[in-house]
Structure 1
Amino acid sequence: MNLPILNIIKKICTLTGLLLFLISCKSSPEEYVEKIDLQPSIALQNMYLVDLQSCADYVGALTRTSEVDSLKFYFKKARTQFKKVEPVLSFQDQNNYSFLNAPNLLKVEEEDLTDIKINEPSSFQTLEENIFSDAPDIDAVHKTAGKIHSRLQVLLRNTDVAYLKPYHVLWIVRKQLIRTATTGVTGFDSPVLESSLMDAVTAFAKAEQILNLYDHNFKKEPLKALWQDKFSRAKSYLTEGDFENFNRYEFIKSHIDPMLVLWVETAKDWQVSFPLQMAIDNNASSLFSKEALSLDFFAGRKVTPLSEDKIQLGKRLFHDKSLSSSQTVSCATCHKSNLAFTDGLTKSNGLNRNSPSLTYSAYQQGFFYDKRSGSLEGQIVSVINNSQEFHSDLKSFASLIDQDSSYIKEFEIAYATPIHQNSIRDAIADYVRSLNYWNSKWDQNIRNEINTLTASEINGFNLFNGKAKCATCHFAPVFNGTVPPDFMETEMEHLGVPEAAVTNNARIDTDLGRFEIYKTENRKHFFKTPSIRNIALTSPYMHNGVYKTLEEVIEFYNLGGGYGIGITNQEYQTLPTDPLNLTDQEKTDLINFMKTLTDAEFVNQ
């Protein structure tokens, strides 16, 4: 038996005589965990630390070998063990999990002008891209592996998951289901090996093992058998596929969503009381439903239910030109409902950027293209105060409409409050929060309400999540940059967007994006990743409106972003620079899929 593993088990075991058993036991640590009848929380602690130690051992081996084949072997072993650790680690310690699983990109954290952190990545993705490159940098491999090994050792010394309750365990299992569906099968954290499917099998097996530790909570015996069947079918489906041809649509529809339904049933059977609402609603039974994501979570406060009175009041304010000093501009000027709340212009009047859609904008952790606002309410105030937009202020507007008896009555009914600048801001924000319909052709099909998707549209989704690598930035179910399954961060990317729609000798657009907020040099040309829902109606595209058609957008990505069209002096471009080599039919399929994301309200219009 591995001595470090033995030491860990010695440290955590409290049963009388257990150490004597261990010394004489010839079974592996994994078998030991399964055989000994422990309290579920103790058994979970044992199992987790055994997996952590095994992962650390393989990473440690990477620091001691310079032979490329050995590096590849030990990396694959370490990564498999990391996927076993993933369900618990990602729930128990999100910061360390994010560090270990980070993309191989410079990490910039900008809290304010006095607190800007720039960190080089030292993660499993960093190792993968180095070890499996044409010319691995052995010294860099050793350095990165050393940092990962040190981090794992800290976790081994300080981790305690014995406090976990049954509701925590249910959250752990569900989080793994959501992660697998939204990032796990997309190659998000396996950019070179594309080992996502087998990674998912490993993580699913561990999630099932964790659930089994708590099987005494089941009051309805058939539910236990159902979980076993669902996991077995899902793992078989993952095993039978290969990354490029895997049917992700069928996987979500026939495996993930049914498991979410079973999860809700299990929570009721266990009679758990959830102390708070996570990003995924505790009653969510489908990933692509209006009920799946909690608006309260994204708002950071209680904003639901969004009553019809609140929505209609917010809509009236949204269209009220009195908000502007000139009395000629309203929110609807730049966000027209028939264009999915965009304006159809390359750049909005008086501004230097394209008008983004407001649909599904509630599901973000940052607003404006440069994320200079942290909330919908803050964005609204900024627009009203901006001299190039409304050139007004909420205080003046509040005084103006406080003379309108109909407004006074509507505020009293909707918010039980007098007219105030804060309640005006909240009402407009709540209206914007209502612009999430979840009734597109895509949504209705994947929820199994209708069956009208074409083979081209389904293939487009599978390409979006596979070969075309779109889903590594535009994450389901919103298809924006807010990263599941925690939805705590909305990513920004440097694509190398040109100033003109050309395919060679391009020049980068002069808009510096996020750089203008904190002047962080390596944040030049970074912009927030928007949702592609209703994208068929929101032309022109990109922050500067440079592309008029979806065909132009797809070709830009297919060529490798800015790098592929001649903008080769941008070292911080986050978009992979290699061409995607999409066929004409694959480009068509991608566009056909994106068109299925148009909500029924706009189709009817």
Structure 2
Amino acid sequence: MYRNKINWIIWPLFVLTAVFSAWGFKQTADDNGVLNTVNVFREGAAGFAAASLEMEQAMHNLDAAQPHSVTQARDALRKCRLQYKRIEFFLDYFFFSSSLVYNRPAKTEIDEPYMEYQAPAGLQQMAVLLYDKDPVSHKKALLEEAAVISASATDLPALLYQFHTTDKAIMESIRIELVRLYANGITGYDAPELKSGIAETCQSLQTIQSVLQPWIGTSSPENIPVKNFLTRCIQYLQQHPDFDTFNRLEFLSAYALPLQEQLSKLIVALQLDQHTRSALNYNAKNLFSKDALNPAAFPDSNPATFAMKALGQQLFFEKALSGNNTRSCATCHQPEKYFSDGIKTSIAFDGKSNVRRNAPSLYYAGFQYAQFWDGRAGSLSKQIAQVISNPEEMNGVHAVVISRLRDSVRYQQAFHNAFPEQSLAPSATITMPHLAAAIAAYLYTLAPMSSAMDDYFAGNKQAMTPAQINGFNLFMGKAQCATCHFAPLFNGLTPPFYQFTEFENLGMPANDDLLHPQADKDAGRFEFFPIDFYKRAFKTPTVRNSAMTAPYMHNGVFKDLEKVMEFYNAGGGNGLGMEDPYQTLSPAKLGLNPAEIKDVIAFLHALTDRPVATHD
């Protein structure tokens, strides 16, 4: 009877899609791939609708007296997710709001600045519930989720009514999908409990193969490399399906990144280049290139001249910016310590007490949409202005600081050189906005991407040790590090668009005794946005150069990377037995053995950049 229900649903799907085709599609000579892409979506939507109905039935069958019913429900979820991957690239690019019904992250998300809540929902939330200690106890919630998904899936063809697009848009959607697969898919970001990321990535690439047929169906110098690398990627994924042992470094360097490079060349050759979204630099060679992200997409990203950066560097070490002429930015962000200070929390302005939070490294600081641990500043320049005036940090009065600098002939000339467009006297160019903008321009230069890992991806296969290579694969897979510290900067910039900075509640304790953890009283982002879901949430920093910037976490409570890994391996605070209802980190234990932990730490050392040139 249930199979008849599926047939009853699927037959109208094909009828509807045929009707919508008659209404909406007129392929022109300039858009050779549109109709094919729409047909690929139709077929995928039909498969997803059928799989969602089967999944709904599996949730109906959940029974505590029949343990195999849980296994069947999990298998049905895996199948449904695979079918969803056939249409994900299309929905996320052309109908992003609609896609949120199906694959939203399994945590409450807040749409700032409107403060609209998005509760956990969809396939990811179902995976969390099905892998809870007692999945059957969540049967009602699972049924509700499955019902919403199946009902929405049957209506997917309606999205095509009067739908119009272009070959350029299709190519951009594929560009973005490749980045999603490399940064999220193979890491298991969507459903770490299922460990289905490798199979799902394979399914997505097979869909891309179908979408590209109008351009790679015949052989030409431009498309042969794309066709070959796409086939090799799919074959490699099929031949190495195990999530925990998958060699991500080999897959990326030998197959996936070359595919990305060749696709870019094909797009240029076909004159189908367009850039309507994302902070990605489409002219970069691949996701792990030094220029993979476009600085112009981030705050304070106005083109900076050499004079502006040089001025910013001078100001970074300038003690006249402080209230007593004894402190500079470099006091707490010391270049020789990778722009951190090596202590738990920095010494305050009075020289006796300490500020509340650890001084993080400033490497890659510009590539975020929120500054400070709690994200209260929306740009580097705003952060700089606040730090200068903060009584505990530099205790400088803006007007006094500017007056001091205006008394300096050297700074008059430096500011005038940095901001020559101002038709003002040299001293008049010395303003707090210019001062902050100059330091921000300097901080943007602190993004060298010169680590051993970067050298490896640039072609030097001897740059990383076997332990570091294994550590990379663990970091990007079993250890789940890359599901919060996203490639390529390994910070909270969320792929594939890199237009949002994540905040996470790890359940951090106030002490480093993980057998007797004590609750940390720092409310984090909640102090800036008083929303319960932001309680104890902090910005996800980069782990590049983390081997050089101990101690760790917002409170500096962990003195070494071994303690950090012990904490994560235990499942964060809740995994240790603390009870934080707003912890966003999964409390599930990672199951890493001592050798694996050692290799992850070895990889973190492979993320250490060669120090940038500085002066004081």
* Superposition TM-score, scaled by structure 1 size: 0.89
Match of 2:583 among 546, 564, 573: 573
Aligned ranges 1:429-444 → 2 under 5 Å: 429-444=440-455
Distance 1:155 1:421, change over 3 A: farther
CA contact (8 A) 1:474 1:481 kept: yes
In 1, distance between residues paired with 2:224 and 2:162?
27
Q: Tell me if 1:409 matches 2:413.
A: yes
The count of corresponding residues between Structure 1 and Structure 2 is: 578
In the other structure, the counterpart of 2:122 is 123
Q: Tell me if 1:7 matches 2:1.
A: no
Structure 1 gaps, min length 5: 19-32
Aligned ranges 1:158-237 → 2 under 5 Å: 158-159=159-160, 162-215=163-216, 221-237=220-236
Aligned ranges 1:544-563 → 2 under 5 Å: 544-563=555-574
In the other structure, the counterpart of 2:314 is 316
The one-letter code of the counterpart of 1:553 is V
In 2, distance between residues paired with 1:450 and 1:410?
44
In the other structure, the counterpart of 1:456 is 467
In 2, distance between residues paired with 1:255 and 1:379?
41
CA contact (8 A) 1:499 1:507 kept: yes
In 1, distance between residues paired with 2:43 and 2:234?
23
Deviates further, 392-401 or 483-492: 392-401
The one-letter code of the counterpart of 1:289 is S
The one-letter code of the counterpart of 1:267 is I
Deviations 1:183-215 (A, max 9, x none): 111111122211111100110111122122345
SS where residue 116 of structure 2 aligns? strand
Structure 1 residue 411, shift from structure 2 partner = 2.6
Structure 1 residue 578, shift from structure 2 partner = 2.5
Structure 1 residue 461, shift from structure 2 partner = 0.7
CA contact (8 A) 2:34 2:170 kept: no
Match of 1:505 among 516, 519, 525: 516
In the other structure, the counterpart of 2:352 is none
In 1, distance between residues paired with 2:118 and 2:186?
27
Quote the sequence identity (%). Answer: 31
CA contact (8 A) 1:334 1:355 kept: yes
* Superposition TM-score, scaled by structure 2 size: 0.88
The one-letter code of the counterpart of 1:169 is I
In 2, distance between residues paired with 1:441 and 1:448?
11
In 2, distance between residues paired with 1:400 and 1:473?
43
CA contact (8 A) 2:172 2:274 kept: no
Distance 1:221 1:103, change over 3 A: same
In 2, distance between residues paired with 1:397 and 1:604?
23
In the other structure, the counterpart of 1:25 is none
In 2, distance between residues paired with 1:409 and 1:308?
14
Aligned ranges 1:363-374 → 2 under 5 Å: 363-374=367-378
In 1, distance between residues paired with 2:143 and 2:316?
57
Deviations 1:193-239 (A, max 9, x none): 111111001101111221223459x9x81222221110111111111
SS where residue 115 of structure 2 aligns? strand
Structure 1 residue 276, shift from structure 2 partner = 5.3
In the other structure, the counterpart of 1:269 is 269
SS where residue 338 of structure 1 aligns? helix
Structure 1 residue 64, shift from structure 2 partner = 4.7
In the other structure, the counterpart of 2:65 is none
C-alpha RMSD of matched pairs (Å): 2.7
In 1, distance between residues paired with 2:431 and 2:506?
42
In 2, distance between residues paired with 1:321 and 1:96?
53
SS where residue 533 of structure 1 aligns? coil
SS where residue 14 of structure 1 aligns? helix
Distance 1:273 1:194, change over 3 A: closer
In 2, distance between residues paired with 1:157 and 1:117?
26
SS where residue 251 of structure 2 aligns? helix
Deviations 1:39-73 (A, max 9, x none): 52233223223322432343244445511446445
The one-letter code of the counterpart of 1:594 is L
Structure 1 residue 161, shift from structure 2 partner = 8.7
Deviations 1:456-506 (A, max 9, x none): 110011111122111111111111111111112211111121111102121
Deviations 1:521-552 (A, max 9, x none): 23221111110000111111011111111111
SS where residue 579 of structure 1 aligns? coil
Structure 1 residue 77, shift from structure 2 partner = 3.1
Deviates further, 313-322 or 447-456: 447-456
Distance 1:531 1:160, change over 3 A: farther
Aligned ranges 1:292-307 → 2 under 5 Å: 292-299=292-299, 302-304=301-303, 306-307=304-305
The one-letter code of the counterpart of 2:479 is A
Structure 1 residue 121, shift from structure 2 partner = 1.2
Match of 1:329 among 319, 327, 330: 327
In 2, distance between residues paired with 1:394 and 1:170?
49
Deviates further, 98-107 or 425-434: 98-107
Match of 2:356 among 338, 352, 355: 352
Deviates further, 135-144 or 590-599: 135-144
In 1, distance between residues paired with 2:445 and 2:107?
35
Q: Tell me if 1:467 matches 2:466.
A: no
In 1, distance between residues paired with 2:477 and 2:244?
6
In the other structure, the counterpart of 1:30 is none
Distance 1:399 1:258, change over 3 A: same
SS where residue 205 of structure 2 aligns? helix
In 1, distance between residues paired with 2:411 and 2:613?
32
Q: Tell me if 1:495 matches 2:506.
A: yes
Distance 1:61 1:476, change over 3 A: same
CA contact (8 A) 2:37 2:211 kept: yes
Structure 1 residue 159, shift from structure 2 partner = 4.2
Q: Tell me if 1:596 matches 2:589.
A: no
Structure 1 residue 119, shift from structure 2 partner = 3.4
In the other structure, the counterpart of 2:3 is none
The one-letter code of the counterpart of 2:432 is Q
In the other structure, the counterpart of 2:4 is none
CA contact (8 A) 1:278 1:294 kept: no
Structure 1 residue 566, shift from structure 2 partner = 3.6
Deviates further, 523-532 or 96-105: 96-105
In the other structure, the counterpart of 2:79 is 77
In 2, distance between residues paired with 1:408 and 1:511?
42
Deviations 1:159-202 (A, max 9, x none): 46953333322222221221111111111112221111110011
SS where residue 501 of structure 2 aligns? coil
Distance 1:308 1:603, change over 3 A: closer
In 1, distance between residues paired with 2:498 and 2:256?
18
